[in-house]
């Protein structure tokens, strides 16, 4: 550059860019935050706080068809999430926002009821801790359903949830929740939860097609609280010094349910757009036990419809409500070095072969996990034998890496 074409503006801009690059390259992180705990900020006047965290799961899955001996596999980003939580105005008023970024997170929005757009919002809920024992929630979040569903997908004992959950869970919905807890005896804790929601799942923008959804849940912890809320994460990472047990029971009613599973599945409509409806009632019973590295979780689910109906399409296929029952039992032991072996048995059965959208199936799964930084950085792998009535039996192998910070 000669003096003839010298530009003070360009020169100043170049210096600023070099200074910015230098600060980025040589800056040191002076944050007090720890890996897995997110980035936390608090307003100067303490009127709000926000913790930002992100995570993703990279998955390899291979499937062997035992009838044809055909092998198929794939790599995918199973989940990728952004999460924000904290308090506003008063520490008793908290919030949570969680967004899904992967295709699997927000797929399924190609329907009029969600505006034919991606369903990015997972959670958007505000919580008011009115008293020590009473809290009130308003917004979109998980319903107080089966334990495995409420446990975060980041904190699972296996690569992913069981068939019971994928077939019968009541998932997320938008509405209000009321929660209360109290002591029972010297150590026992009783938790009560009630939810009133729209009944058609997350990110629905259309007027309510069916009726409302009512959820009731009771939980009893006879030996007191788990370490670090361990009744809602997989594996006994805290190595409970005394036996801990949590027992839960949920009853859910989705009035005039428009979708196959209430909050999930296709809308039960025929080719002419006629909407079908039935009341779906679901019962869940579950428990979590942990002691000295050993953990065991069990769940039973049963979903029934008040009417035997299904929609028929012009090509002869049908859209049926998913009704039936399932049992899931799993247990694991955490060895030294935070390495764990776990086994899971799951069975699923339809209640009516003509009207139910369920298939009878069983799955036996053996898993190995290496927890590097708890559930925030871990490697998990499992292999499952999948026995399916009316379809080919399969061997499924999965390997997943979880990173959350």
Helix (H) or strand (E) run with residue 104 in it: helix 103-106
Strands (E), 143-277: 172-184, 188-197, 213-221, 244-257
Domain housing 332 = 32-404
Task: Taking residues 231-240, report their average pLDDT.
Answer: 97
CATH of the domain at 118: 2.40.160.10
Q: Is residue 7 part of a domain?
A: no
d(C-alpha 55, C-alpha 85), whole Å: 14
d(C-alpha 146, C-alpha 393), whole Å: 27
Q: Is residue 246 part of a domain?
A: yes
pLDDT of 356 > 60? The answer is yes
Q: How many structural domains does the chain have? A: 1
pLDDT of 3 > 50? The answer is no
Q: Is residue 103 part of a domain?
A: yes
- pLDDT tens digits, one per residue of 171-227: 999 999 999 999 999 999 999 999 999 999 999 888 888 899 999 999 999 999 999
Residues 161, 174: contact at Cβ < 8 Å? no
Q: Is residue 286 part of a domain?
A: yes
Task: Taking residues 134-148, report their average pLDDT.
Answer: 97
Identify the band that residue 24 occupies on the pLDDT scale cut at 50, 70 and 90.
Answer: very low
Residues 25, 370: contact at Cβ < 8 Å? no
Q: Is residue 333 part of a domain?
A: yes
Q: Is residue 317 part of a domain?
A: yes
- The pLDDT assigned to 116 comes to 83
Q: Is residue 290 part of a domain?
A: yes
Identify the band that residue 18 occupies on the pLDDT scale cut at 50, 70 and 90.
Answer: low
pLDDT of 348 > 50? The answer is yes
Q: Is residue 17 part of a domain?
A: no
- pLDDT tens digits, one per residue of 260-310: 999 999 999 999 989 999 999 999 999 999 999 999 999 999 999 999 999
d(C-alpha 277, C-alpha 300), whole Å: 25
pTM over 0.85: yes
Task: Taking residues 134-147, report their average pLDDT.
Answer: 98
């Amino acid at each position: 550059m000669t003096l003839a074409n010298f530009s003070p503006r360009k020169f100043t801009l170049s210096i600023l860019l070099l200074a910015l690059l230098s600060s980025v390259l040589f800056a040191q992180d002076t944050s007090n935050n720890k890996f897995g705990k997110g980035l936390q900020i608090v307003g100067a006047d303490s009127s709000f706080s926000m913790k930002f965290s992100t995570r993703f799961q990279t998955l390899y899955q291979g499937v062997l068809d035992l009838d044809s001996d055909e092998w198929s596999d794939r790599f995918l980003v199973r989940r990728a999430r952004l999460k924000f939580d904290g308090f506003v105005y008063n520490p008793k008023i908290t919030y949570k926002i969680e967004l899904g970024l992967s295709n699997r997170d927000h797929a399924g929005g190609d329907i009029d009821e969600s505006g034919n757009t991606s369903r990015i919002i997972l959670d958007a809920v505000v919580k008011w801790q009115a008293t020590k024992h009473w809290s009130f929630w308003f917004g979109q979040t998980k319903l107080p359903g089966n334990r495995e569903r409420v446990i975060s997908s980041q904190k699972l004992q296996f690569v992913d949830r069981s068939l019971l959950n994928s077939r019968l869970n009541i998932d997320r919905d938008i509405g209000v929740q009321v929660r209360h807890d109290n002591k029972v005896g010297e150590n026992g804790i009783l938790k009560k939860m009630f939810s009133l929601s729209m009944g058609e799942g997350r990110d629905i923008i259309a007027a309510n097609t069916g009726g409302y959804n009512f959820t009731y849940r009771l939980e009893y912890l006879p030996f007191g609280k788990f370490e670090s809320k361990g009744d809602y994460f997989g594996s006994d990472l805290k190595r409970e010094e005394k036996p801990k047990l949590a027992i839960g029971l949920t009853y859910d009613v989705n009035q005039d349910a428009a979708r196959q599973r209430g909050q999930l599945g296709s809308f039960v409509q025929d080719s002419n757009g006629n909407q079908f409806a039935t009341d779906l009632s679901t019962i869940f019973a579950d428990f979590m036990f942990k002691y000295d590295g050993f953990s065991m979780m069990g769940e039973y689910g049963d979903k029934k419809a008040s009417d035997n109906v299904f929609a028929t399409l012009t090509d002869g296929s049908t859209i049926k409500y998913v009704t039936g029952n399932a049992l899931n039992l799993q247990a694991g032991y955490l060895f030294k070095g935070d390495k764990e072996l776990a086994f899971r048995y799951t069975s699923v059965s339809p209640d009516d072969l003509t009207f139910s959208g369920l298939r009878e199936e069983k799955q036996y799964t053996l898993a190995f996990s290496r927890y590097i930084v708890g559930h925030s950085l871990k490697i998990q792998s499992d292999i499952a034998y999948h026995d399916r009535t009316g379809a080919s039996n399969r061997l499924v192998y999965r390997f997943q890496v979880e990173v959350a910070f």
